[in-house]
Amino acid sequence: MMFKSSFFVFLELLKRDLRGFWREYPNKLFDTGFMFFTNMIVFAYLMPKQGLDASYGVFLMFGAIASFGLIEIVGRVGVLLADIDGERAISQTMILPVSAKMVFCYIAIYWALTSMLLSVLLFPFGKLLLWDRFDLGQISFIRLIPIYLSANLFYGVFALWLTSILKGMEGLNTLWMRIINPIWMFGAYFYSWQASFKLSPIIAYASLINPMVYIMEGIRSAGLGQKGFLPYGACLAILWGFIILFGILATKRLKKRLDCV
């Protein structure tokens, strides 16, 4: 009975926040699409004139869609930190008949859902921009859907963990430079893991501690075929290992920070 009540509150919280999100959706979708458009024009049409392979645009397209949630992390962490250090609206949520774990779960899932609602339309938009360069027949949707859902859930959980380790709003000043940017740059966004292995096996194996590697390799193997990428099954399994790990760590630290019973 207690679980049923908690789950009902969980769903109501999600519905409440999603209704608010829909009001901002058109503007956010435009911003997302415009950023995606500039990336595709540069890397799919301008950079090949500099000697870049013509297929690179499709390669980067999957990376851009998969990494969208990472770009949003700083803003999400900032909003939650501001609340924790300020009005503490989250504390009011904690007094509802729902466990602290469910509250953190709802926040992570809400962030994941909003990322997906904004980035999922980039797939057809990418087809329009790249047209015959992007072969839809290459996509394995049975593989693409699980890795896409898992990637966005990871970003939600990771944002919670980052919130839990930052002492206050001043930590945002270095969050992008010291954490997000290195994870992005060395996370196989601009290149494949195989390319890093050709450069240096030591660098390639060291990069396997970066969860972004599994997101990039997993989504590209689903969209472009397995050849040249890390095994899809391993990418999905290891990514879920990171989701569980950061979820446990975030919950433990946030419960302590918010004085949850």
Instruction: Indicate the domain borders of the chain.
Output: 2-48+55-257
CA dist 65 and 58 (Å) reads 11
Average per-residue pLDDT for the chain: 90
Question: In terms of C-beta density within 10 A (0-12 exposed, 13-18 middle, 19 or more buried), how is residue 15 classed?
Answer: exposed
CA dist 219 and 62 (Å) reads 7
Joined tokens for residue 165: 């380790």
53 vs 220, higher pLDDT: 220
14 vs 152, higher pLDDT: 152
pLDDT tens per residue across span 119-178: 999 999 999 999 888 888 889 999 999 999 999 999 999 999 999 999 878 888 889 889
CA dist 48 and 41 (Å) reads 10
Q: What percent of the chain has pLDDT over 90?
A: 67
Q: Which amino acid belongs to residue 239?
A: L
**Does residue 65 register a pLDDT over 50?**
yes
**Ranges assigned E (strand) in 130-252:** none
Query: Which pLDDT does position 157 carry in this prediction?
Result: 96
